[in-house]
Amino acid sequence: MSLVPMKELLLAAQKEHYAVGAFNCNNMEIVQAIVAAAVAEKSPVIIQASQGAIKYAGIAYIAALTRTAAESAAVPIALHLDHGTSFEQCMSCVRNGFTSVMIDGSKHGLADNIALTKKVIEVAHPLGISVEAELGKIGGTEDDIKVEEWDALFTDPDEAVHFTEATGVDALAVAIGTAHGQYKGTPKLDFERLKKIVAKVSVPLVLHGSSGVPSEAIQEAIAIGVAKVNIDTNIREAFVAASRRVLNADAGEIDPRKVLGPARDAATEIIREKIRVFGSSGKA
């Protein structure tokens, strides 16, 4: 089937209290792994590409690979820009057939974040393209943030109401204690804050930095109201570990298919596990 807007996947998830997995891709094998996992689980799925992924693979390749994968799959798939930071980046994705974009204005103050998000929505919505924004700051695990500073970066529930009403955004990424990358310890999520946001805000909420968050914590966030869960690092780990296993077993292996095939299989397996945790199996 053709690529679908992300909004419809998230509204269905929000209604039925499951979450749609949004998995980052960088190459053909990962696109294939995401789609194979979604098909095997009969689940809707979001394929997302960061600016880094677009720079690495080329936007036309990402769009064509994803479109081809979606056309041969009997599950709904959205193609989403992950952490776009400028209007121009979002427009480039719009022109290349993405069905959703994230405009991450979290490094700006509230007024500028609202203005930038509105500017993207003005173009995207008339074309049926969904828009995700971020409020609060979701850092990286490598960011050296002290515990007392951490809380100030979290999403403020009242600001979230103002932001969603002022912009008309389709999905909101919230900062509640997760971070991008490999965690050093176990992340602690601020569920009370999440409950306050859910009580006030009607749009589907997004959990970033979800690799390494215990499954029970993810499921609790979904039960409270998260409808999109982003995973990148766990795919990288599985993909590279499988490639390494092959090369460690035979340092003379020179056929890329013998290395990347098992890597693709390992990525498929971890994505299937995540889809089951998110509760979206059988929802396609």
Options 49-57, 109-117, 147-155, 161-169: segment touching ligand G3H (CB under 6 A): 49-57
By the 10 Å C-beta count (0-12 exposed, 13-18 middle, 19+ buried), 127 is classed as: exposed
- How many Å apart are CA 33 and CA 226, to the nearest integer? 24
| Residue 180 binding ligand G3H, by CB under 6 A | yes
The residue among 190 and 232 lying less far from ligand 13P, judged by its C-beta, is: 232
274 binds ligand G3H (CB under 6 A): no
Select from Zn ion, ligand 13P, ligand G3H, none the partner in contact with residue 53, using the beta carbon and a kind-dependent cut-off of 5 to 8 Å. ligand G3H
* Tokens read off for 5: 């807007």
Q: Does 231 bind ligand 13P (CB under 6 A)?
A: yes
CA distance 121 to 195: 27
Q: Is 26 in the site for ligand 13P (CB under 6 A)?
A: no
In the chain, beta strands by DSSP E: 20-24, 45-50, 77-84, 100-103, 130-135, 171-174, 205-207, 226-231
In the complex, least distance from residue 226 CB atom to ligand G3H, rounded to whole angstroms: 16
Tell me the Cα Rg of the chain: 18
> Considering only 207-215, 239-247, 249-257, 259-267, which stretch makes contact with ligand 13P by CB under 6 A?
207-215
In the residue annotation, 255 being an active-site residue is answered as no
Task: Give min distance, CB of 231 to ligand 13P, in A.
Answer: 5
Q: Which stretch binds ligand G3H (CB under 6 A): 48-56, 62-70, 122-130, 217-225?
A: 48-56
- Least distance (Å) between residue 230 CB and ligand 13P: 3
- CA–CA distance, 120 with 111 (Å, rounded to integer): 15
Q: List the single partner that 43 binds among ligand 13P, ligand G3H, Zn ion, none, CB under 5 to 8 Å by kind.
A: none
Q: Give Cα separations from 204 to 173, 226, 229, 240, 281 (angstroms).
A: 9, 7, 11, 32, 19
Tell me how far apart the alpha carbons of residues 261 and 147 are, in angstroms, rounded to a whole number.
42
The residues binding ligand 13P (CB under 6 A) are 24, 82-83, 180-181, 208-211, 230-233
Binding site for ligand G3H (CB under 6 A): 24, 50, 52-53, 82-83, 180, 232
